[in-house]
Structure 1
Amino acid sequence: MVNEKTYIVGAGSPIIDILVNVEDAFLKQIGAEKGGMVLTDDATIRRTLEQLKSQISKVPGGSAGNTIFGLAELGMPTAFLGKLGRDTDGDLYRDLLVQKGGKSDLFRYSDSIHTGCCLSMITPDSERTMRPSLGAASEFVLDDIDPEDFESARHLHIEGYLLYMPGMVEKLVATAKSKGCTVSIDFASFEVVRNCKQQLIELLPKLDIVFANEEEAAEFCGIGNSPEAMAEEIGKIVPVVAVKLGKDGSIIKSASGIERISACPVAAVDTTGAGDLWQSGFLFGWLNDYSIAEAARFGSIIAAEVVKVIGSKIPDDRWRQIFKNMGIKE
Protein backbone atom coordinates (compact mmCIF):
# COMPACT_ATOMS: atom_id res chain seq x y z
CA MET A 1 0.00 0.00 0.00
CA VAL A 2 1.09 3.61 -0.47
CA ASN A 3 2.55 5.58 2.40
CA GLU A 4 -0.25 7.08 4.48
CA LYS A 5 1.27 10.55 4.11
CA THR A 6 1.31 10.34 0.32
CA TYR A 7 -1.88 11.72 -1.16
CA ILE A 8 -3.84 11.36 -4.35
CA VAL A 9 -5.08 14.79 -5.32
CA GLY A 10 -8.16 15.30 -7.46
CA ALA A 11 -8.56 18.58 -9.35
CA GLY A 12 -11.86 19.71 -10.75
CA SER A 13 -15.23 21.23 -9.96
CA PRO A 14 -16.71 20.03 -6.64
CA ILE A 15 -20.45 20.17 -7.31
CA ILE A 16 -23.68 18.71 -6.01
CA ASP A 17 -25.49 16.37 -8.41
CA ILE A 18 -29.24 16.88 -8.85
CA LEU A 19 -30.60 13.58 -10.14
CA VAL A 20 -33.90 13.27 -12.01
CA ASN A 21 -35.49 10.63 -14.25
CA VAL A 22 -36.68 11.79 -17.70
CA GLU A 23 -37.96 10.32 -20.96
CA ASP A 24 -36.03 10.59 -24.24
CA ALA A 25 -38.79 12.83 -25.56
CA PHE A 26 -38.06 15.38 -22.84
CA LEU A 27 -34.44 15.69 -23.99
CA LYS A 28 -35.66 16.40 -27.51
CA GLN A 29 -38.15 18.92 -26.14
CA ILE A 30 -35.41 20.96 -24.47
CA GLY A 31 -32.92 20.46 -27.32
CA ALA A 32 -30.44 18.39 -25.33
CA GLU A 33 -28.08 15.98 -27.10
CA LYS A 34 -28.43 12.69 -25.25
CA GLY A 35 -25.35 11.70 -23.27
CA GLY A 36 -23.71 15.10 -23.60
CA MET A 37 -22.59 17.80 -21.20
CA VAL A 38 -23.24 21.51 -21.75
CA LEU A 39 -22.47 24.22 -19.20
CA THR A 40 -25.54 26.17 -18.14
CA ASP A 41 -26.73 28.46 -15.31
CA ASP A 42 -28.94 28.19 -12.24
CA ALA A 43 -31.90 29.88 -13.93
CA THR A 44 -31.89 27.34 -16.76
CA ILE A 45 -31.70 24.44 -14.31
CA ARG A 46 -34.63 25.87 -12.34
CA ARG A 47 -36.72 26.28 -15.51
CA THR A 48 -35.90 22.73 -16.57
CA LEU A 49 -36.89 21.29 -13.20
CA GLU A 50 -40.16 23.23 -13.27
CA GLN A 51 -41.11 21.32 -16.42
CA LEU A 52 -40.61 17.97 -14.70
CA LYS A 53 -42.84 16.06 -12.32
CA SER A 54 -40.16 13.58 -11.23
CA GLN A 55 -38.71 13.56 -7.73
CA ILE A 56 -35.14 14.82 -7.44
CA SER A 57 -32.29 13.73 -5.19
CA LYS A 58 -28.98 15.41 -4.31
CA VAL A 59 -25.57 13.80 -3.82
CA PRO A 60 -21.97 15.09 -3.88
CA GLY A 61 -20.60 14.78 -7.40
CA GLY A 62 -18.29 16.17 -10.02
CA SER A 63 -16.16 13.95 -12.22
CA ALA A 64 -12.86 14.10 -10.33
CA GLY A 65 -14.80 14.30 -7.08
CA ASN A 66 -16.49 10.97 -7.73
CA THR A 67 -13.12 9.36 -8.45
CA ILE A 68 -11.55 10.82 -5.32
CA PHE A 69 -14.47 9.77 -3.11
CA GLY A 70 -14.15 6.25 -4.52
CA LEU A 71 -10.44 6.16 -3.72
CA ALA A 72 -11.17 7.42 -0.21
CA GLU A 73 -13.64 4.56 0.27
CA LEU A 74 -10.85 2.19 -0.75
CA GLY A 75 -8.67 3.57 2.03
CA MET A 76 -6.37 5.69 -0.10
CA PRO A 77 -5.16 9.06 1.28
CA THR A 78 -6.97 11.71 -0.75
CA ALA A 79 -7.43 15.45 -1.11
CA PHE A 80 -9.38 17.67 -3.49
CA LEU A 81 -8.29 20.89 -5.16
CA GLY A 82 -11.32 22.93 -6.21
CA LYS A 83 -13.60 25.75 -5.07
CA LEU A 84 -16.75 25.48 -2.94
CA GLY A 85 -19.23 28.08 -1.73
CA ARG A 86 -19.56 28.91 1.95
CA ASP A 87 -22.96 27.25 2.20
CA THR A 88 -24.65 24.06 3.31
CA ASP A 89 -23.88 22.29 0.02
CA GLY A 90 -20.21 23.18 0.38
CA ASP A 91 -20.21 21.97 3.99
CA LEU A 92 -21.81 18.70 2.89
CA TYR A 93 -19.19 18.12 0.22
CA ARG A 94 -16.22 18.90 2.48
CA ASP A 95 -17.50 17.03 5.51
CA LEU A 96 -18.26 13.87 3.55
CA LEU A 97 -14.72 13.73 2.16
CA VAL A 98 -13.28 14.19 5.65
CA GLN A 99 -15.63 11.52 6.97
CA LYS A 100 -14.16 9.12 4.41
CA GLY A 101 -10.61 9.90 5.52
CA GLY A 102 -9.74 12.62 3.02
CA LYS A 103 -8.21 15.95 3.93
CA SER A 104 -9.98 19.25 3.37
CA ASP A 105 -7.21 21.84 3.36
CA LEU A 106 -6.90 21.95 -0.44
CA PHE A 107 -10.46 23.22 -0.90
CA ARG A 108 -10.75 26.88 -1.85
CA TYR A 109 -13.84 28.96 -1.04
CA SER A 110 -15.91 31.69 -2.64
CA ASP A 111 -17.50 34.27 -0.36
CA SER A 112 -19.93 35.44 -3.03
CA ILE A 113 -21.10 32.44 -5.08
CA HIS A 114 -22.80 29.25 -3.93
CA THR A 115 -21.49 25.72 -4.43
CA GLY A 116 -21.97 24.46 -7.99
CA CYS A 117 -24.55 21.90 -9.07
CA CYS A 118 -25.18 19.58 -12.00
CA LEU A 119 -28.57 18.55 -13.32
CA SER A 120 -28.21 14.91 -14.32
CA MET A 121 -31.16 13.76 -16.45
CA ILE A 122 -31.43 9.97 -16.51
CA THR A 123 -33.30 8.26 -19.37
CA PRO A 124 -34.87 4.76 -19.16
CA ASP A 125 -31.76 3.19 -20.75
CA SER A 126 -29.76 4.49 -17.73
CA GLU A 127 -27.84 7.04 -19.82
CA ARG A 128 -27.42 10.48 -18.31
CA THR A 129 -27.36 13.91 -19.94
CA MET A 130 -25.71 16.58 -17.83
CA ARG A 131 -26.19 20.30 -17.44
CA PRO A 132 -23.76 21.70 -14.86
CA SER A 133 -23.81 25.17 -13.35
CA LEU A 134 -20.36 25.56 -11.87
CA GLY A 135 -21.21 28.17 -9.25
CA ALA A 136 -18.20 28.72 -6.97
CA ALA A 137 -16.16 26.27 -9.04
CA SER A 138 -16.17 28.83 -11.86
CA GLU A 139 -14.05 31.09 -9.63
CA PHE A 140 -11.26 28.50 -9.43
CA VAL A 141 -8.30 30.41 -10.88
CA LEU A 142 -4.63 29.84 -11.63
CA ASP A 143 -3.59 31.57 -8.40
CA ASP A 144 -5.49 28.89 -6.45
CA ILE A 145 -2.78 26.39 -7.47
CA ASP A 146 0.01 26.32 -4.91
CA PRO A 147 3.08 24.07 -5.35
CA GLU A 148 2.91 23.31 -1.62
CA ASP A 149 -0.39 21.49 -2.26
CA PHE A 150 1.60 18.75 -3.97
CA GLU A 151 4.41 18.35 -1.44
CA SER A 152 2.78 15.23 0.05
CA ALA A 153 1.12 14.03 -3.17
CA ARG A 154 2.13 11.13 -5.39
CA HIS A 155 -0.59 11.40 -8.04
CA LEU A 156 -2.85 14.06 -9.54
CA HIS A 157 -6.12 13.15 -11.26
CA ILE A 158 -7.68 15.89 -13.41
CA GLU A 159 -11.16 16.09 -14.85
CA GLY A 160 -11.21 17.17 -18.48
CA TYR A 161 -13.86 19.81 -17.82
CA LEU A 162 -11.04 22.03 -16.50
CA LEU A 163 -9.81 22.34 -20.09
CA TYR A 164 -12.49 25.01 -20.48
CA MET A 165 -10.51 27.20 -18.03
CA PRO A 166 -7.57 28.68 -20.02
CA GLY A 167 -4.19 27.56 -18.73
CA MET A 168 -5.64 25.65 -15.77
CA VAL A 169 -4.78 22.08 -16.77
CA GLU A 170 -1.40 23.14 -18.10
CA LYS A 171 -0.48 24.74 -14.76
CA LEU A 172 -1.83 21.80 -12.77
CA VAL A 173 0.22 19.33 -14.79
CA ALA A 174 3.40 21.43 -14.64
CA THR A 175 3.07 22.01 -10.89
CA ALA A 176 2.32 18.38 -10.06
CA LYS A 177 5.13 17.12 -12.27
CA SER A 178 7.58 19.54 -10.63
CA LYS A 179 6.80 17.78 -7.33
CA GLY A 180 7.29 14.29 -8.77
CA CYS A 181 3.64 13.33 -9.21
CA THR A 182 2.25 11.08 -11.87
CA VAL A 183 -0.80 12.56 -13.62
CA SER A 184 -4.00 11.18 -15.12
CA ILE A 185 -6.79 12.93 -16.99
CA ASP A 186 -10.34 11.94 -17.80
CA PHE A 187 -11.49 13.22 -21.21
CA ALA A 188 -14.83 14.03 -19.50
CA SER A 189 -17.21 14.23 -22.49
CA PHE A 190 -17.12 14.09 -26.27
CA GLU A 191 -18.01 17.80 -26.29
CA VAL A 192 -14.93 18.63 -24.22
CA VAL A 193 -12.76 16.66 -26.64
CA ARG A 194 -14.41 18.33 -29.64
CA ASN A 195 -13.85 21.83 -28.26
CA CYS A 196 -10.41 21.31 -26.69
CA LYS A 197 -8.72 18.84 -29.01
CA GLN A 198 -5.67 20.98 -29.72
CA GLN A 199 -5.07 21.47 -26.00
CA LEU A 200 -5.24 17.71 -25.50
CA ILE A 201 -2.80 17.07 -28.33
CA GLU A 202 -0.30 19.36 -26.63
CA LEU A 203 -0.95 17.93 -23.14
CA LEU A 204 -0.90 14.18 -23.79
CA PRO A 205 2.91 13.78 -23.96
CA LYS A 206 3.11 15.12 -20.40
CA LEU A 207 0.59 12.65 -18.94
CA ASP A 208 0.87 9.14 -17.50
CA ILE A 209 -2.72 7.90 -17.89
CA VAL A 210 -5.64 8.86 -20.12
CA PHE A 211 -9.20 7.75 -19.37
CA ALA A 212 -11.81 8.02 -22.12
CA ASN A 213 -15.08 6.36 -23.00
CA GLU A 214 -15.71 5.13 -26.53
CA GLU A 215 -17.42 8.34 -27.69
CA GLU A 216 -14.65 10.53 -26.30
CA ALA A 217 -11.91 8.40 -27.84
CA ALA A 218 -13.73 8.44 -31.18
CA GLU A 219 -13.99 12.23 -31.05
CA PHE A 220 -10.23 12.41 -30.51
CA CYS A 221 -9.12 9.72 -32.95
CA GLY A 222 -11.85 9.86 -35.57
CA ILE A 223 -15.20 8.11 -35.71
CA GLY A 224 -15.08 4.64 -37.25
CA ASN A 225 -12.02 3.31 -35.46
CA SER A 226 -12.30 0.24 -33.23
CA PRO A 227 -11.72 0.73 -29.48
CA GLU A 228 -8.49 -1.24 -29.81
CA ALA A 229 -7.27 1.01 -32.62
CA MET A 230 -8.15 4.14 -30.65
CA ALA A 231 -6.34 2.89 -27.55
CA GLU A 232 -3.35 2.01 -29.72
CA GLU A 233 -3.28 5.47 -31.30
CA ILE A 234 -3.50 7.41 -28.03
CA GLY A 235 -1.08 4.90 -26.49
CA LYS A 236 1.63 6.04 -28.89
CA ILE A 237 1.77 9.24 -26.83
CA VAL A 238 0.66 8.25 -23.30
CA PRO A 239 2.05 5.24 -21.34
CA VAL A 240 -1.36 3.98 -20.17
CA VAL A 241 -4.69 4.45 -21.99
CA ALA A 242 -8.02 3.11 -20.75
CA VAL A 243 -10.97 3.17 -23.14
CA LYS A 244 -14.10 2.46 -21.11
CA LEU A 245 -16.84 0.56 -22.96
CA GLY A 246 -19.58 0.38 -20.34
CA LYS A 247 -21.25 -3.04 -20.29
CA ASP A 248 -18.66 -4.26 -22.81
CA GLY A 249 -15.79 -3.73 -20.38
CA SER A 250 -12.64 -1.82 -21.23
CA ILE A 251 -9.64 -1.77 -23.53
CA ILE A 252 -6.31 -0.96 -21.91
CA LYS A 253 -3.12 -0.06 -23.79
CA SER A 254 0.09 -0.15 -21.76
CA ALA A 255 3.63 -1.47 -21.95
CA SER A 256 2.05 -4.93 -21.71
CA GLY A 257 0.20 -4.37 -24.98
CA ILE A 258 -3.54 -4.27 -25.60
CA GLU A 259 -5.83 -5.98 -23.09
CA ARG A 260 -9.63 -6.30 -23.06
CA ILE A 261 -11.19 -6.60 -19.62
CA SER A 262 -14.80 -7.71 -19.21
CA ALA A 263 -17.40 -5.77 -17.27
CA CYS A 264 -19.29 -7.41 -14.42
CA PRO A 265 -22.81 -8.37 -15.58
CA VAL A 266 -25.39 -6.21 -13.83
CA ALA A 267 -28.81 -4.65 -14.42
CA ALA A 268 -28.02 -0.94 -14.56
CA VAL A 269 -30.38 1.55 -12.92
CA ASP A 270 -28.30 4.69 -13.50
CA THR A 271 -24.86 5.07 -15.08
CA THR A 272 -24.09 8.34 -13.26
CA GLY A 273 -20.54 8.14 -11.97
CA ALA A 274 -19.85 4.68 -13.42
CA GLY A 275 -16.83 5.80 -15.40
CA ASP A 276 -15.54 7.94 -12.53
CA LEU A 277 -15.80 5.06 -10.04
CA TRP A 278 -14.24 2.69 -12.59
CA GLN A 279 -11.28 5.05 -12.50
CA SER A 280 -11.17 4.80 -8.69
CA GLY A 281 -10.69 1.06 -8.94
CA PHE A 282 -8.15 1.31 -11.74
CA LEU A 283 -6.07 3.97 -9.99
CA PHE A 284 -6.18 1.97 -6.74
CA GLY A 285 -4.71 -1.01 -8.58
CA TRP A 286 -2.20 0.98 -10.63
CA LEU A 287 -0.90 2.99 -7.68
CA ASN A 288 -0.55 -0.17 -5.59
CA ASP A 289 1.42 -1.99 -8.31
CA TYR A 290 -1.22 -4.50 -9.33
CA SER A 291 -1.16 -5.65 -12.95
CA ILE A 292 -2.96 -3.54 -15.54
CA ALA A 293 -5.53 -6.32 -15.99
CA GLU A 294 -6.15 -6.55 -12.25
CA ALA A 295 -6.47 -2.76 -11.95
CA ALA A 296 -9.09 -2.78 -14.71
CA ARG A 297 -10.89 -5.66 -12.98
CA PHE A 298 -11.08 -3.57 -9.81
CA GLY A 299 -12.61 -0.79 -11.87
CA SER A 300 -15.23 -3.14 -13.29
CA ILE A 301 -16.19 -4.40 -9.82
CA ILE A 302 -16.78 -0.91 -8.44
CA ALA A 303 -18.57 0.36 -11.55
CA ALA A 304 -20.93 -2.63 -11.35
CA GLU A 305 -21.98 -1.50 -7.87
CA VAL A 306 -22.58 2.17 -8.61
CA VAL A 307 -24.87 1.49 -11.59
CA LYS A 308 -27.24 -0.38 -9.25
CA VAL A 309 -28.22 2.87 -7.52
CA ILE A 310 -29.40 6.34 -8.49
CA GLY A 311 -26.45 8.71 -8.33
CA SER A 312 -22.75 8.24 -7.84
CA LYS A 313 -22.69 7.25 -4.16
CA ILE A 314 -22.41 3.55 -3.40
CA PRO A 315 -24.20 2.69 -0.12
CA ASP A 316 -21.79 2.27 2.77
CA ASP A 317 -22.91 -1.30 3.42
CA ARG A 318 -21.85 -2.39 -0.09
CA TRP A 319 -18.17 -1.57 0.29
CA ARG A 320 -17.40 -4.65 2.38
CA GLN A 321 -18.66 -6.82 -0.49
CA ILE A 322 -16.64 -4.73 -2.96
CA PHE A 323 -13.45 -5.41 -0.99
CA LYS A 324 -14.34 -9.10 -0.92
CA ASN A 325 -14.96 -9.18 -4.67
CA MET A 326 -11.66 -7.40 -5.26
CA GLY A 327 -9.88 -9.93 -3.06
CA ILE A 328 -8.31 -7.32 -0.78
CA LYS A 329 -8.56 -6.54 2.92
CA GLU A 330 -10.52 -3.54 4.18
Structure 2
Amino acid sequence: MLRPRAASAALINSGADLLAGGGMNAAVNAADAGTGAGAQSTANDQTYHLWAAQSGSAVRLNIGSHVDAKGWNLNLGFARQKASERNTLTYGPFVEYGHGNYDSYLDDGTHGDGTASYIGAGVMAKSAAESGSYIEGSVRVGRAKSDYTGDIAGRHAGYDMSSTYYAAHIGIGQEKKLGNGTIETYAKYFYTHQNGGSERLTSGDLYDFDDVDSHRLRVGARYTKQNGTGGSFYTGLAYEYEFDGDARVSYAGYSTPTPTLKGGTGILELGYRFARPGSNVSYGLNLMGMTGKCRAITGSLQVNWAL
Protein backbone atom coordinates (compact mmCIF):
# COMPACT_ATOMS: atom_id res chain seq x y z
CA MET A 1 0.00 0.00 0.00
CA LEU A 2 3.03 2.29 0.26
CA ARG A 3 3.58 2.08 -3.47
CA PRO A 4 0.82 4.61 -4.29
CA ARG A 5 2.74 7.31 -2.39
CA ALA A 6 5.90 6.49 -4.33
CA ALA A 7 3.94 6.43 -7.60
CA SER A 8 2.34 9.80 -6.80
CA ALA A 9 5.75 11.33 -5.96
CA ALA A 10 7.18 9.96 -9.22
CA LEU A 11 4.29 11.47 -11.21
CA ILE A 12 4.86 14.91 -9.66
CA ASN A 13 8.59 14.55 -10.37
CA SER A 14 7.85 13.78 -14.03
CA GLY A 15 5.96 17.07 -14.16
CA ALA A 16 9.11 18.82 -12.95
CA ASP A 17 11.14 17.05 -15.65
CA LEU A 18 8.68 18.22 -18.32
CA LEU A 19 8.84 21.81 -17.07
CA ALA A 20 12.66 21.91 -16.79
CA GLY A 21 13.01 20.38 -20.27
CA GLY A 22 10.33 20.83 -22.89
CA GLY A 23 8.34 23.39 -20.92
CA MET A 24 11.28 25.74 -20.42
CA ASN A 25 12.24 25.43 -24.10
CA ALA A 26 8.66 26.11 -25.20
CA ALA A 27 8.44 29.20 -22.97
CA VAL A 28 11.74 30.64 -24.24
CA ASN A 29 10.88 29.90 -27.88
CA ALA A 30 7.44 31.51 -27.55
CA ALA A 31 8.91 34.65 -25.99
CA ASP A 32 11.70 34.74 -28.60
CA ALA A 33 9.20 34.48 -31.45
CA GLY A 34 7.11 37.24 -29.90
CA THR A 35 9.96 39.72 -29.58
CA GLY A 36 10.86 39.21 -33.23
CA ALA A 37 7.36 38.79 -34.62
CA GLY A 38 6.81 42.22 -36.07
CA ALA A 39 7.80 45.85 -36.40
CA GLN A 40 5.95 46.78 -33.23
CA SER A 41 7.86 44.24 -31.12
CA THR A 42 10.83 45.39 -29.09
CA ALA A 43 13.61 43.72 -27.16
CA ASN A 44 11.50 44.39 -24.04
CA ASP A 45 8.14 43.28 -25.39
CA GLN A 46 5.60 43.49 -22.55
CA THR A 47 3.24 40.95 -24.14
CA TYR A 48 2.91 37.48 -22.68
CA HIS A 49 3.06 34.69 -25.26
CA LEU A 50 1.28 31.36 -24.89
CA TRP A 51 3.14 28.06 -24.71
CA ALA A 52 2.24 24.46 -23.94
CA ALA A 53 4.14 21.21 -23.33
CA GLN A 54 2.89 17.71 -22.69
CA SER A 55 4.49 14.32 -22.12
CA GLY A 56 3.55 10.68 -21.72
CA SER A 57 5.56 8.02 -19.92
CA ALA A 58 5.79 4.33 -19.08
CA VAL A 59 7.90 3.81 -15.95
CA ARG A 60 9.10 0.93 -13.77
CA LEU A 61 10.14 2.02 -10.28
CA ASN A 62 12.47 -0.40 -8.48
CA ILE A 63 11.51 0.48 -4.92
CA GLY A 64 11.79 -2.87 -3.14
CA SER A 65 9.62 -5.06 -5.40
CA HIS A 66 8.42 -2.75 -8.18
CA VAL A 67 5.71 -0.45 -9.53
CA ASP A 68 4.74 -0.19 -13.20
CA ALA A 69 3.19 3.20 -13.96
CA LYS A 70 1.87 5.04 -16.99
CA GLY A 71 1.29 8.77 -16.87
CA TRP A 72 0.56 11.97 -18.76
CA ASN A 73 1.70 15.50 -17.86
CA LEU A 74 0.72 18.93 -19.17
CA ASN A 75 2.19 22.42 -18.75
CA LEU A 76 0.34 25.52 -20.06
CA GLY A 77 1.66 29.01 -19.51
CA PHE A 78 2.53 32.49 -20.68
CA ALA A 79 6.04 33.91 -21.05
CA ARG A 80 7.65 37.21 -21.93
CA GLN A 81 11.21 38.54 -22.15
CA LYS A 82 13.21 41.47 -20.84
CA ALA A 83 16.58 42.14 -22.43
CA SER A 84 19.59 44.08 -21.22
CA GLU A 85 22.98 44.59 -22.84
CA ARG A 86 24.33 41.18 -21.79
CA ASN A 87 21.38 39.12 -20.53
CA THR A 88 17.90 38.06 -21.59
CA LEU A 89 15.36 37.16 -18.91
CA THR A 90 12.37 34.97 -19.78
CA TYR A 91 9.68 34.53 -17.14
CA GLY A 92 6.00 33.87 -16.60
CA PRO A 93 3.25 31.90 -14.84
CA PHE A 94 1.96 28.45 -15.75
CA VAL A 95 -0.49 25.76 -14.67
CA GLU A 96 0.25 22.04 -14.58
CA TYR A 97 -1.70 18.80 -14.54
CA GLY A 98 -0.79 15.13 -14.44
CA HIS A 99 -2.68 11.85 -14.35
CA GLY A 100 -1.53 8.24 -14.29
CA ASN A 101 -2.34 4.69 -13.29
CA TYR A 102 -0.09 2.07 -11.74
CA ASP A 103 0.24 -1.58 -10.78
CA SER A 104 2.33 -2.55 -7.76
CA TYR A 105 3.91 -5.96 -7.23
CA LEU A 106 5.46 -7.36 -4.07
CA ASP A 107 8.05 -10.14 -4.07
CA ASP A 108 5.49 -12.55 -2.57
CA GLY A 109 3.16 -12.05 -5.56
CA THR A 110 0.79 -9.54 -3.92
CA HIS A 111 -0.71 -7.19 -6.50
CA GLY A 112 -2.46 -3.84 -6.17
CA ASP A 113 -3.43 -1.04 -8.52
CA GLY A 114 -4.75 2.49 -8.53
CA THR A 115 -4.51 5.98 -9.99
CA ALA A 116 -2.63 9.18 -9.15
CA SER A 117 -3.12 12.77 -10.30
CA TYR A 118 -2.11 16.33 -9.48
CA ILE A 119 -3.05 19.88 -10.45
CA GLY A 120 -1.11 23.01 -9.58
CA ALA A 121 0.36 26.35 -10.63
CA GLY A 122 3.71 28.07 -10.51
CA VAL A 123 6.15 30.55 -12.00
CA MET A 124 9.31 29.97 -14.05
CA ALA A 125 12.28 32.11 -15.06
CA LYS A 126 15.43 31.72 -17.13
CA SER A 127 18.26 34.22 -17.50
CA ALA A 128 20.66 33.67 -20.43
CA ALA A 129 23.89 35.60 -20.98
CA GLU A 130 25.61 36.45 -24.26
CA SER A 131 28.48 34.17 -23.20
CA GLY A 132 26.14 31.16 -23.39
CA SER A 133 25.79 30.63 -19.64
CA TYR A 134 22.34 30.54 -18.06
CA ILE A 135 20.48 30.03 -14.81
CA GLU A 136 16.88 28.87 -14.53
CA GLY A 137 14.38 28.03 -11.85
CA SER A 138 10.76 27.42 -10.94
CA VAL A 139 8.43 27.09 -7.96
CA ARG A 140 5.17 25.10 -7.98
CA VAL A 141 2.36 24.32 -5.58
CA GLY A 142 -0.72 22.18 -5.98
CA ARG A 143 -2.87 19.28 -4.86
CA ALA A 144 -2.17 15.59 -5.44
CA LYS A 145 -4.60 12.67 -5.23
CA SER A 146 -4.08 8.91 -5.23
CA ASP A 147 -6.10 5.78 -4.64
CA TYR A 148 -5.27 2.12 -4.14
CA THR A 149 -7.06 -1.21 -4.23
CA GLY A 150 -5.31 -4.46 -3.34
CA ASP A 151 -4.17 -6.77 -0.56
CA ILE A 152 -3.11 -5.00 2.62
CA ALA A 153 -1.94 -7.08 5.60
CA GLY A 154 -3.55 -10.16 4.08
CA ARG A 155 -6.93 -8.51 3.48
CA HIS A 156 -8.43 -6.90 0.39
CA ALA A 157 -8.83 -3.17 1.04
CA GLY A 158 -8.31 0.25 -0.44
CA TYR A 159 -8.21 3.96 0.25
CA ASP A 160 -8.34 7.43 -1.34
CA MET A 161 -5.95 10.18 -0.30
CA SER A 162 -5.28 13.80 -1.23
CA SER A 163 -2.48 16.08 -0.08
CA THR A 164 -0.74 19.36 -0.87
CA TYR A 165 2.62 19.36 -2.65
CA TYR A 166 5.33 22.00 -3.01
CA ALA A 167 8.13 21.82 -5.55
CA ALA A 168 11.02 23.85 -6.94
CA HIS A 169 13.99 23.46 -9.22
CA ILE A 170 17.12 25.42 -10.07
CA GLY A 171 19.59 24.81 -12.86
CA ILE A 172 22.77 26.22 -14.34
CA GLY A 173 24.32 25.55 -17.71
CA GLN A 174 26.72 26.62 -20.44
CA GLU A 175 26.26 26.50 -24.21
CA LYS A 176 29.26 26.54 -26.56
CA LYS A 177 29.70 26.27 -30.30
CA LEU A 178 31.18 22.96 -31.39
CA GLY A 179 31.71 22.44 -35.11
CA ASN A 180 28.38 22.89 -36.88
CA GLY A 181 26.41 22.61 -33.67
CA THR A 182 26.18 23.58 -30.02
CA ILE A 183 27.05 21.57 -26.93
CA GLU A 184 25.31 22.32 -23.64
CA THR A 185 26.46 21.14 -20.21
CA TYR A 186 24.18 21.55 -17.22
CA ALA A 187 23.38 20.67 -13.63
CA LYS A 188 19.85 20.80 -12.19
CA TYR A 189 18.50 20.27 -8.69
CA PHE A 190 14.87 19.28 -8.09
CA TYR A 191 12.98 19.36 -4.78
CA THR A 192 9.46 18.07 -4.13
CA HIS A 193 7.55 17.85 -0.85
CA GLN A 194 4.25 15.99 -0.54
CA ASN A 195 2.32 16.34 2.71
CA GLY A 196 1.31 13.28 4.69
CA GLY A 197 -1.80 12.54 6.72
CA SER A 198 -3.99 9.84 8.22
CA GLU A 199 -6.37 7.76 6.12
CA ARG A 200 -8.90 5.11 7.09
CA LEU A 201 -8.94 2.11 4.78
CA THR A 202 -12.11 0.45 3.57
CA SER A 203 -11.24 -2.33 6.04
CA GLY A 204 -11.59 0.17 8.89
CA ASP A 205 -7.88 0.32 9.78
CA LEU A 206 -6.28 3.75 10.25
CA TYR A 207 -2.85 4.30 8.66
CA ASP A 208 -0.54 7.29 9.14
CA PHE A 209 1.33 8.49 6.05
CA ASP A 210 4.51 10.52 6.55
CA ASP A 211 5.53 13.42 4.33
CA VAL A 212 7.46 12.41 1.20
CA ASP A 213 10.50 14.52 0.26
CA SER A 214 12.41 14.12 -2.98
CA HIS A 215 15.86 15.61 -3.59
CA ARG A 216 17.28 14.95 -7.07
CA LEU A 217 20.47 16.14 -8.77
CA ARG A 218 20.91 15.72 -12.52
CA VAL A 219 24.08 16.47 -14.51
CA GLY A 220 24.39 16.03 -18.24
CA ALA A 221 25.37 17.23 -21.70
CA ARG A 222 23.37 17.78 -24.88
CA TYR A 223 24.53 18.31 -28.47
CA THR A 224 22.30 20.27 -30.89
CA LYS A 225 22.76 20.55 -34.64
CA GLN A 226 20.77 22.70 -37.04
CA ASN A 227 18.98 20.67 -39.70
CA GLY A 228 17.78 22.84 -42.56
CA THR A 229 15.74 26.01 -42.23
CA GLY A 230 13.98 26.21 -38.87
CA GLY A 231 14.86 22.71 -37.64
CA SER A 232 17.32 21.35 -35.11
CA PHE A 233 18.16 17.85 -33.85
CA TYR A 234 19.63 17.13 -30.42
CA THR A 235 20.88 14.19 -28.40
CA GLY A 236 22.06 14.03 -24.81
CA LEU A 237 23.32 11.94 -21.91
CA ALA A 238 22.72 12.57 -18.22
CA TYR A 239 22.99 10.97 -14.80
CA GLU A 240 20.50 11.59 -12.00
CA TYR A 241 20.68 10.67 -8.33
CA GLU A 242 17.75 10.68 -5.91
CA PHE A 243 18.95 11.35 -2.35
CA ASP A 244 15.69 10.63 -0.51
CA GLY A 245 12.22 9.68 -1.76
CA ASP A 246 11.21 7.46 1.20
CA ALA A 247 7.45 6.82 1.52
CA ARG A 248 6.96 5.87 5.19
CA VAL A 249 3.69 4.60 6.64
CA SER A 250 2.81 3.41 10.15
CA TYR A 251 -0.08 1.44 11.60
CA ALA A 252 -0.96 1.33 15.31
CA GLY A 253 2.41 2.90 16.08
CA TYR A 254 4.42 0.35 14.07
CA SER A 255 6.32 1.21 10.90
CA THR A 256 5.62 -0.80 7.78
CA PRO A 257 8.27 -1.69 5.14
CA THR A 258 9.35 1.49 3.38
CA PRO A 259 9.70 1.79 -0.41
CA THR A 260 12.16 4.41 -1.59
CA LEU A 261 13.03 6.23 -4.80
CA LYS A 262 16.64 6.67 -3.62
CA GLY A 263 19.28 5.66 -6.18
CA GLY A 264 20.90 6.51 -9.51
CA THR A 265 19.43 6.60 -13.02
CA GLY A 266 21.15 6.95 -16.42
CA ILE A 267 19.34 8.98 -19.09
CA LEU A 268 19.55 9.08 -22.90
CA GLU A 269 17.49 11.61 -24.85
CA LEU A 270 16.77 12.39 -28.50
CA GLY A 271 14.77 15.31 -29.80
CA TYR A 272 13.83 17.55 -32.69
CA ARG A 273 12.61 21.16 -32.78
CA PHE A 274 10.97 22.79 -35.78
CA ALA A 275 9.71 26.29 -36.58
CA ARG A 276 8.44 27.05 -40.07
CA PRO A 277 9.87 30.37 -41.37
CA GLY A 278 7.34 33.16 -40.95
CA SER A 279 5.05 31.08 -38.70
CA ASN A 280 4.13 32.10 -35.16
CA VAL A 281 3.92 28.44 -34.08
CA SER A 282 6.87 26.14 -33.37
CA TYR A 283 7.05 22.52 -32.25
CA GLY A 284 9.33 20.19 -30.35
CA LEU A 285 9.50 16.40 -29.97
CA ASN A 286 11.50 14.52 -27.33
CA LEU A 287 12.13 10.85 -26.54
CA MET A 288 13.89 9.87 -23.31
CA GLY A 289 15.05 6.49 -22.03
CA MET A 290 16.08 5.79 -18.42
CA THR A 291 17.78 2.86 -16.75
CA GLY A 292 18.78 2.16 -13.16
CA LYS A 293 16.59 2.98 -10.17
CA CYS A 294 13.98 4.25 -12.60
CA ARG A 295 13.50 2.33 -15.85
CA ALA A 296 11.37 4.34 -18.23
CA ILE A 297 10.54 5.49 -21.73
CA THR A 298 8.99 8.95 -21.99
CA GLY A 299 7.93 11.07 -24.94
CA SER A 300 6.96 14.72 -24.99
CA LEU A 301 5.50 17.27 -27.39
CA GLN A 302 5.98 21.01 -26.99
CA VAL A 303 4.03 23.70 -28.79
CA ASN A 304 4.45 27.46 -28.48
CA TRP A 305 2.60 30.37 -29.99
CA ALA A 306 3.68 33.99 -30.42
CA LEU A 307 0.35 35.81 -30.14
Same fold (TM over 0.5): no
Tell me the TM-score normalized by structure 2.
0.31
Which one has a larger percent strand, Structure 1 or Structure 2? 2
Tell me the TM-score normalized by structure 1.
0.30
